[in-house]
């Protein structure tokens, strides 16, 4: 097996490939690492044929849907997954064939109802069912400590003790462990009575993962994360630096329209000299009257540089091909000591 492990913060993704047939499965991919995965697969001479999420993730943005579109290959999840875009739903006891590799599905609910582990050769991809020195939490949507107890003690921990485990998380930078090692040393697995285990899981009092709302929304629906929208816009628009804009403002560049897309009160409190106001919320509906000449060069600016990137992207889509975004925002402009002009809109 050709094997790669890719960490994103505490999240772990795995590329498992068949050396004979040059195909691979990518397990628990994260949105920000798409280019990294594709580059690794190319370096290893592999084509990714399956995109697998071990469960509905609440703490990171899954890349399965975007990669599925890009590569034309199926998203694989357990049949209990709520995500409508899953192409291949699998159940306990089934196998995913990746060239000559066989990824055997164990349904292991508990962390979530759709959690599964994947057994291939001498490795078990445990998702968030079993972690190094811990288990997945059971206090997020569809979590169930009773089910986790059964999944661990009736299923996972009865597997071969020498089996290597490869969890979806590792916050402590550990690289390797086995079923046997966890059984002996994992503090949470020392509670082997159901009631004690459930009581322990119910009293962990963990803080909520950051971005949980957005992660669940996007992972369950296939919708886009804010960072994804911003990255797509930023990849499709050119930028102008603060210093370049300052030079153009100083030389009274008549060719450039500076479009301030903040709200009126922010604009009136202080804007770049010569800037026009067109709030982002009114952009589409007012471009015809405000920007009658689509051949002009337009620079969008906002407070922090994100909304202006989205606005510039929208303007380009609407047929203003010379729109750019300010690389930075009014906050950085003011901090640079560049001129701002207060004043009411006529
Ligand atoms: Fe998880």
pLDDT of residue 173: 75
- Tell me how far apart the alpha carbons of residues 243 and 125 are, in angstroms, rounded to a whole number: 50
The answer to whether 127 and 114 are in contact (CB under 8 A) is no
Residue 172 has pLDDT above 80, yes or no: no
pLDDT (tens digit per residue) in 104-116: 999 999 999 999 9
Q: Could you tell me the distance, in angstroms and rounded to a whole number, from the CA of residue 58 to the centre of ligand 1?
A: 6
Residue 345 has pLDDT above 90, yes or no: no
Q: Could you tell me the distance, in angstroms and rounded to a whole number, from the CA of residue 169 to the centre of ligand 1?
A: 8
Half-sphere exposure of 174 (CA within 13 A, CB side): 17
pLDDT (tens digit per residue) in 32-56: 999 999 999 999 999 999 999 999 9
Q: Could you tell me the distance, in angstroms and rounded to a whole number, from the CA of residue 241 to the centre of ligand 1?
A: 40
Q: Could you tell me the distance, in angstroms and rounded to a whole number, from the CA of residue 269 to the centre of ligand 1?
A: 45
Tell me how crowded residue 318 is: count the other CB atoms within 10 A of its CB. 15
Q: Could you tell me the distance, in angstroms and rounded to a whole number, from the CA of residue 35 to the centre of ligand 1?
A: 23
pLDDT of residue 336: 97
pLDDT of residue 184: 97
Q: Could you tell me the distance, in angstroms and rounded to a whole number, from the CA of residue 234 to the centre of ligand 1?
A: 29
pLDDT (tens digit per residue) in 204-223: 999 999 899 999 999 999 99
- Tell me how far apart the alpha carbons of residues 331 and 184 are, in angstroms, rounded to a whole number: 55
Q: Could you tell me the distance, in angstroms and rounded to a whole number, from the CA of residue 195 to the centre of ligand 1?
A: 23
How large is the average pLDDT for residues 237-259?
96
Q: Which ranges constitute the DSSP H helices of 187-250?
A: 194-202, 212-221, 226-236, 242-250
pLDDT band at 344 (very low <50, low <70, confident <90, very high): confident
pLDDT of residue 171: 79
How large is the average pLDDT for residues 333-339?
97
pLDDT of residue 174: 75
Q: Which ranges constitute the DSSP H helices of 237-306?
A: 242-250, 264-269, 283-290
- Burial classification of residue 72, based on how many CB atoms lie within 10 Å of its CB (0-12 exposed, 13-18 middle, 19 or more buried): exposed
- Tell me how far apart the alpha carbons of residues 314 and 159 are, in angstroms, rounded to a whole number: 54
Give the total residue count for the chain.
Answer: 346
pLDDT (tens digit per residue) in 9-26: 889 999 999 999 999 999
Q: Could you tell me the distance, in angstroms and rounded to a whole number, from the CA of residue 209 to the centre of ligand 1?
A: 10
The three-state (H, E, C) secondary structure of 163-196, written as one string: CEEEECECCCCCCCCEHHHHHHHCHHHHCCCHHH
Residue 59 structure tokens = 């703490």
Give the strand pairing for 75-78 and 88-90: parallel
Tell me if residue 292 falls in helix, strand or coil. Answer: coil
pLDDT (tens digit per residue) in 137-158: 999 999 999 999 999 999 999 9
CA angle 221, 224, 228 (to 5 degrees): 155
**Alpha-carbon distances of 88 from 51, 223, 271, rounded to whole Å:** 10, 19, 53
Q: Could you tell me the distance, in angstroms and rounded to a whole number, from the CA of residue 167 to the centre of ligand 1?
A: 10
Q: Could you tell me the distance, in angstroms and rounded to a whole number, from the CA of residue 56 to the centre of ligand 1?
A: 7
Q: Which residues pair with 25 in a beta bridge?
A: 16, 50
Share of the chain above pLDDT 90, in %: 95
The answer to whether 140 and 212 are in contact (CB under 8 A) is yes
Q: Could you tell me the distance, in angstroms and rounded to a whole number, from the CA of residue 80 to the centre of ligand 1?
A: 15
Q: Which residues, 6 or more positions from 307, have their beta carbon under 8 angstroms from its beta carbon? A: 261, 262, 280
How large is the average pLDDT for residues 296-314?
98
How large is the average pLDDT for residues 191-207?
96
Among candidate residues 277, 287, 280, the one with its CA nearest the CA of residue 318: 287
- Tell me how far apart the alpha carbons of residues 209 and 221 are, in angstroms, rounded to a whole number: 19
**How far does CA 149 lie from the centroid of its chain?**
29
pLDDT of residue 243: 98
Q: Could you tell me the distance, in angstroms and rounded to a whole number, from the CA of residue 337 to the centre of ligand 1?
A: 46
pLDDT of residue 176: 87
């Amino acid at each position: 097996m050709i094997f790669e492990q890719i960490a994103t913060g505490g999240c772990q993704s795995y590329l498992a490939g068949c050396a004979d047939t040059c195909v691979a499965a990518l397990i628990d991919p994260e949105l920000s690492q798409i280019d990294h995965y594709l580059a690794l697969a190319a370096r290893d001479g592999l084509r990714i044929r399956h995109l697998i999420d071990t469960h509905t993730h609440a703490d990171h943005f899954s890349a399965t849907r975007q990669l599925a579109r890009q590569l034309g290959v199926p998203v694989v999840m357990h049949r209990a997954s709520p995500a409508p875009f899953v192409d291949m739903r699998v159940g306990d006891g089934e196998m995913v064939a990746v060239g000559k590799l066989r990824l055997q599905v164990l349904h292991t609910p508990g962390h979530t109802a759709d959690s599964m582990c994947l057994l291939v050769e001498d490795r078990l991809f445990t998702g968030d069912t079993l972690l190094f020195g811990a288990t997945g939490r059971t206090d997020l949507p569809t979590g169930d400590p009773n089910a986790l107890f059964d999944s661990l003690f009736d299923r996972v921990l009865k597997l071969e003790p020498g089996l290597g485990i490869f969890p979806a998380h590792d916050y402590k930078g550990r690289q390797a462990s086995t079923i046997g090692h966890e059984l002996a040393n994992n503090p949470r697995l020392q509670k082997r009575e159901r009631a004690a285990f459930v009581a322990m899981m119910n009293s962990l009092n963990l803080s909520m993962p950051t971005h949980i709302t957005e992660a669940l929304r996007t992972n369950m629906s296939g919708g886009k994360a804010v960072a994804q929208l911003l990255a797509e816009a930023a990849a499709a628009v050119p930028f102008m630096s603060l210093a370049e804009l300052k030079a153009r403002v100083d030389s009274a560049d008549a060719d450039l329209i500076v479009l301030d897309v903040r709200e009126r009160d922010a604009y009136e409190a202080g804007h770049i000299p010569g800037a026009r106001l067109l709030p982002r919320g009114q952009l589409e509906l007012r471009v015809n009257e405000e920007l009658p000449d689509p051949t002009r060069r337009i620079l969008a600016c906002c407070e922090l540089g994100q909304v202006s990137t989205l606005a510039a992207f929208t303007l380009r889509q609407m047929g203003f091909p010379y729109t750019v975004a300010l690389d930075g925002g009014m906050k950085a402009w003011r901090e640079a000591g560049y001129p701002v002009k207060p004043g009411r809109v006529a």
